[in-house]
Amino acid sequence: MSQHSHALNESIGSTVLGYPRIGPRRELKKALESYWAGRIDSDELQATAAELRRTTWEKLAASGLDSVPGNTFSFYDQMLDTAQLFGAVPRRYRHLSTTDAYFAMARGRDDLAPLELTKWFDTNYHYLVPELSPETRFALTTDKPIAEYREASALGIVTRPVLPGPLTFLLLAKAAPGSPSGFQPLDLLDGLIESYAELLSRLADEGVAWVQLDEPALVADRTPAELRALEHAYTRLSALPSRPRLLVAGYFGRLGDALGVLAGTDVEALAVDLVSDERALAEVSTERKLRDKTVVAGLVDGRNVWRTDLRAAVSTAAGLLGSVRDLGVSTSCSLLHVPYDLDAEHDLEEPLRRRLAFAEQKVAEVVTIGRALREGPEAVAGQLSAADEATRVEGRRDDQVRARLAALRPEHRARASFERRADAQRRRLGLPELATTTIGSFPQTGEVRAARAGLRTGRLDAAEYTTAMRTEIERVVRLQEDIGLDVLVHGEPERNDMVQYFAEQLDGYAATEFGWVQSYGSRCVRPPILHGDVSRPRPMTVDWSTYAQSLTDRPVKGMLTGPVTMLAWSFVRADQPLAETADQVALALRDEVSDLERAGLRIIQVDEPALRELLPPRRDRQQEYVEWGVAAFRLATSGVADATQIHTHLCYSEFGDVITAIDALDADVTSLEAARSNMEVVQDLAGIGFGRAVGPGVYDIHSPRVPGSEELRTSLAAAVAALPAERLWVNPDCGLKTRRYPEIEPALRALVDAAKAARQDS
Ligand code: GLN
Ligand code: ZN
């Protein structure tokens, strides 16, 4: 360890594990998109990035935190940054410059597929999956963490560089296609440790006092071999002759066995999440090996927007003082997952507003807890009692909804057998095998966005807005007919976002103005806040869907967002079990489904792209989650006739853990993301004898690349080889709203061609 560090640097004190980076007004998003479109050059992009880093560091330093995190900025994703940092760049990108390779891995190019994009644990953030093979040779290739440290130092701010740790990096990576069977990324641990070692010693040379290595992968159940690898990695890193102090952060759950393993190595500090799992506190306070460690207690929820019960947090922290050598306080995880600043909001009403805290406010909460510990609660008495008051405020109550919930019986969550339904639906719909469809949204053109904005600002009145939307719906229906799709959609032009659209119409939800959080790359979402009892004052989608169906004889799918996703992509009240909140949303959706059915829609899709996202990391908590998630979906969808076909859509491809849940949803047709993972899903489904219909996505809509007919045919052939054609659908792997027409039109035509060709072959 570097012996010259100041005594001040030995403690972490108060800190946050990470911070948002997209910009309070989405400055980075705008700069990235301008850069990709060729409207600004790389210097301008770099200038925006440097400005965002500077304002973040300065704000955090001025807030009174003792330790400011560094290297939390990213142009796209921290896993991608780390892959490039250590030279884990697959061969297909290596002819490109550093910047071009970076964005090609993120987004693909016409001739180059991107890396796979996947959910970051149970959050709404997505990371790029590093592709590793036995040929991967790690080597320190960029100097991003070092450069950002210097940049902050030049502003007079000492930072603590943060990056994913080696275990999490490897456990989240995947074997590159074509790797020998049996190869696992974890096999590469020794080589990777050497690169981390080199980075750490270079950071020590720069005078860096602390480095934070994020190991959220450790809050899931890990095998004995993985725990041995963990011990090996941190024994080796902590034995380096010259290195900064190491803070290893495990968050999104409790560390379990990994806690003792880490505490047994010579790393100086562990950051633990005391919010996500109530069992974590006991684990930490009884681990004797923590007595000579610094423990950074994650007491402020980094994932939600509710104010912290500061008095409770202070007493939790105080209770830990005797169990550890030195106590720091922090957020439970990076603040990446919450919006920047509550003070930017002008339309949030009291008393809701008083219950909320965004990133800036959470930083202040951490500072307050730190001061209470150091100076005594009297020093922050005002803050503590304000928090007492705020956390006592109750949300909206709806007795009618509560009465309906209390009266629910099992038959409200059950339909007839799949065989019987399939038969009734075959007769009513008369679709070919390998029926073609899309997932729901069509590209959101400038006109569509302008019309929605026009309604908001009053430039368009309700009638003008309806005309604009109907014109768009008609155009999209005619296009789909022309392309030759079998089941049509209305295109969702009226929706800003699949959750927000419904949240705006349901009671019990509030919307923010600037509450953006990063979803992936430049994509941001503005999660609504579910703060009270939920109910549906009036139908939400019936007019648009009915209009679309009136234009065509082909079936149009009604399109709703399911209860789990309505929760997963919102900030949800923490004052009652999620299961109850989910059922409230499900009842509102059930009424909407009935209204759509009555209006003549023969197919209704209830999207649950987030089903896997909320899955708790520890197996012992998964069953309970799956039960209420499935129960809520079934409550929403079981009120229909046998002949009404229920579809669902799931946005991921690795669904080993939720495969039985998908089965239990009992949807007639399930469409899934599959294109970026070579249709692996289909094999998995065949493996469990999945008995309903499936639409494995053959066209990767997350990339601007247009797939050729040949490529789609190969994917389809893989599907047909694994599952009977009459139970297969042909579709893209997600909604098209982030794409442009010149991309999707040829892709959809190729998709219809490929389906026709496959029908002939089968
Ligand atoms: N129906 C939605 C759409 O097409 C589904 C989006 C999603 O799965 N995230 O946009
Ligand atoms: Zn999707």
Confidence at residue 9, expressed as pLDDT on a 0 to 100 scale = 64
pLDDT tens readout for residues 92-134 = 999 999 999 999 999 999 889 999 998 899 898 999 999 999 9
| DSSP H or E stretch at residue 559 | strand 557-561
pTM given for the model: 0.92
Q: What angle do CA 561, 567, 572 make, to 5 degrees?
A: 145
Report CA(673)–ligand 2 centroid distance (Å): 7
The annotation status of 27 as a binding-site residue, yes or no, is: yes
Confidence at residue 572, expressed as pLDDT on a 0 to 100 scale = 97
In the chain, the percentage of residues whose pLDDT exceeds 90 is 91
The annotation status of 144 as a binding-site residue, yes or no, is: no
Tokens for 525?
């979402």
Report CA(422)–ligand 1 centroid distance (Å): 24
pLDDT confidence band for 86 (50 / 70 / 90): very high
Q: Considering every ligand atom, which ligand is closest to the CA of 520?
A: 1
Q: Whose CA is nearest to atom 1 of ligand 1?
A: 440
- Of the candidates 507, 481, 287, 517, which has an alpha carbon nearest to the alpha carbon of residue 397? 507
- Of the candidates 17, 4, 324, 355, which has an alpha carbon nearest to the alpha carbon of residue 165? 17
- Of the candidates 640, 638, 540, 633, which has an alpha carbon nearest to the alpha carbon of residue 586? 633
Report CA(207)–ligand 2 centroid distance (Å): 45
Q: Whose CA is nearest to atom 4 of ligand 1?
A: 735
| Residue 758 confidence (pLDDT) above 60 | yes
Distance CA 749, CA 482 (A): 9
| Residue 412 annotated in active site | no
Side chain identity at residue 54, one-letter code: R
The annotation status of 737 as a binding-site residue, yes or no, is: no
Confidence at residue 241, expressed as pLDDT on a 0 to 100 scale = 95
The annotation status of 333 as a binding-site residue, yes or no, is: no
Tokens for 146?
């070092």
Confidence at residue 681, expressed as pLDDT on a 0 to 100 scale = 84
Mean pLDDT across 370-399: 95
For residue 737, the ligand 1 atom closest to its alpha carbon is 10
Decide whether any atom of ligand 1 lies within 6 Å of the 651 Cβ: yes
- Of the candidates 194, 229, 227, 233, which has an alpha carbon nearest to the alpha carbon of residue 213? 233
The annotation status of 26 as a binding-site residue, yes or no, is: yes
Q: Considering every ligand atom, which ligand is closest to the CA of 498?
A: 1
- Of the candidates 9, 11, 44, which has an alpha carbon nearest to the alpha carbon of residue 28? 44
Confidence at residue 685, expressed as pLDDT on a 0 to 100 scale = 87
pLDDT confidence band for 4 (50 / 70 / 90): very low
| Average per-residue pLDDT for the chain | 95
Could you give the dihedral angle defined by the CA atoms of residues 546, 550, 556 and 558, in that order, rounded to the nearest 10 degrees? Answer: 0
Tokens for 363?
């930083």
Name which residue leads in pLDDT, 211 or 615: 211
For residue 649, the ligand 1 atom closest to its alpha carbon is 8
| Residue 24 confidence (pLDDT) above 80 | yes
| Residue 343 confidence (pLDDT) above 70 | yes
| Residue 6 confidence (pLDDT) above 60 | no
Confidence at residue 254, expressed as pLDDT on a 0 to 100 scale = 97
pLDDT tens readout for residues 685-739 = 888 889 999 999 999 998 888 999 899 999 999 999 999 999 999 999 999 999 9
pLDDT confidence band for 5 (50 / 70 / 90): very low
Burial class (CB in 10 A: 0-12, 13-18, 19+), 687: exposed
Report CA(474)–ligand 1 centroid distance (Å): 20
For residue 440, the ligand 1 atom closest to its alpha carbon is 4
| Residue 3 confidence (pLDDT) above 60 | no
Mean pLDDT across 77-88: 98
Write the DSSP string, 547-579: HHHHT-SS-BEEEEE-HHHHHHTSEE-SSS-HH
Q: Whose CA is nearest to atom 6 of ligand 1?
A: 735
Q: Which of the following is catalytic: 337, 490, 531, 702? A: 702
For residue 439, the ligand 1 atom closest to its alpha carbon is 4
